[in-house]
Amino acid sequence: MTRIGRLFEKLKREGRCGMIAYLTAGDPTPDATPGLVAALERGGADLIELGVPFSDPIADGPVIQRAGDRALRAGMTLAKVLDSAREIRRRSEIPLLLFTYLNPVLRYGFGRLANDAKEAGIDGCLLIDVSVEEAEEYVHVTRAAGLDTVFLAAPTSTEERLRLVAKYSSGFIYLVSRTGITGERDNIAGSALPLIERMRAQTNLPLAMGFGVSKPEHVAALAGHVEAVVVGSAIVRQIERDPAGLEAFMRNLTSPLAMRDAAIN
């Protein structure tokens, strides 16, 4: 079992919802990434998504697009993201999920990446634009290396696609609360809860929900429905504005989870 699997077992035992934090590795510089991850962990993050910067991030809104551009200009590469993971592992056992588009992985090589990622301390991979209908080879190679494979499900996913997402996912399933690109929103989409119910009918795997989750009240609204919430753009914007304030920002986001945990116990 990976650190991801052990985390969700721990969350279940404790009766609490987890916090998954995304950041673009290499933003603002490659050297800054391990320290930013440490700040997120101190602020209450349970799992880190290490985003690999990519030149054509079709699923990302302007905040993460700018972060990717800064990281690429600073010289960040997929190999250097793995170097960051190694550095993080020197001080932390927090689960790490590699979050990337398919093209950098194709250039690097599925087998090579799976083995190198495992050696670097990565626990799983999420290829945001891979077609789940054509994922069997990728899943086989990645699982053989001992990594989890996480797939996305959206409100527009058909029942057959949800079935395939359940079949090929391990660790957890990432639910997209709304259609469209990443970014902060004022409210949780009305499509969020029906998607959770549809996915529950297909799997017993833990569910995490992201896209548009950016405020403590969003976290509070979802905490009773999924095993984890995912925050991305709001964190990346905080890094863009004031990286020194990242830990306090994360504490504010996770405060509803702490209060809920206290109420349960």
Residue range 120-165, pLDDT digits in tens? 999 999 999 988 999 999 999 999 999 999 999 999 999 999 999 9
In a domain, 231, yes or no: yes
Picking from 91, 74, 96, 62, the residue whose alpha carbon sits closest to that of residue 28 is 74
**9-30 confidence digits (pLDDT tens):** 999 999 999 999 999 999 999 9
Q: Give the residue-averaged pLDDT of 178-184.
A: 49
In a domain, 261, yes or no: no
| pTM for the model | 0.93
Per-residue pLDDT, 58:
76
In a domain, 262, yes or no: no
- Confidence check: pLDDT of 114 > 90: yes
Per-residue pLDDT, 265:
40
259 pLDDT tier (thresholds 50, 70, 90): low
In a domain, 71, yes or no: yes
**16-69 confidence digits (pLDDT tens):** 999 999 999 999 999 999 999 999 999 999 999 999 999 887 777 889 999 999
Tally of CB atoms within 10 A around 58? 10
Q: Give the residue-averaged pLDDT of 81-109.
A: 96
CATH assignment at residue 242: 3.20.20.70
Q: What DSSP string runs through 98-167? A: EEE-HHHHHHH-HHHHHHHHHHHT--EEEETT--GGG-HHHHHHHHHTT-EE--EE-TT--HHHHHHHHH
177 pLDDT tier (thresholds 50, 70, 90): confident
Strands 228-231 and 173-176, bridge-based pairing: unpaired
Residue given tokens 């101190």 in the structure block: 42
Q: Please tell me which residue in 27, 41, 46, 60 is annotated as part of the active site.
A: 60
What domain count does the chain have? 1
Reply yes or no on whether 137 is catalytic.
no
Q: Give the residue-averaged pLDDT of 175-186.
A: 59
263 pLDDT tier (thresholds 50, 70, 90): very low
**186-214 confidence digits (pLDDT tens):** 456 577 899 999 999 999 999 999 987 88
Q: Characterise 102 by phi-psi region: left (phi > 0), alpha (psi -120 to 50), beta (else).
A: alpha
Per-residue pLDDT, 262:
44
Q: Give the residue-averaged pLDDT of 208-230.
A: 91
Cβ proximity of 76 and 28 under 8 Å: no
In a domain, 22, yes or no: yes
Q: Give residue 194's Cα distance to chain centre.
A: 21
In a domain, 229, yes or no: yes
Per-residue pLDDT, 60:
79
Q: Which domain holds residue 102?
A: 3-256
91 three-state secondary structure:
coil
In a domain, 264, yes or no: no
Q: Please tell me which residue in 49, 87, 148, 227 is annotated as part of the active site.
A: 49
Reply yes or no on whether 93 is catalytic.
no
Give the CA diameter of the chain.
49
In a domain, 9, yes or no: yes
Per-residue pLDDT, 65:
92
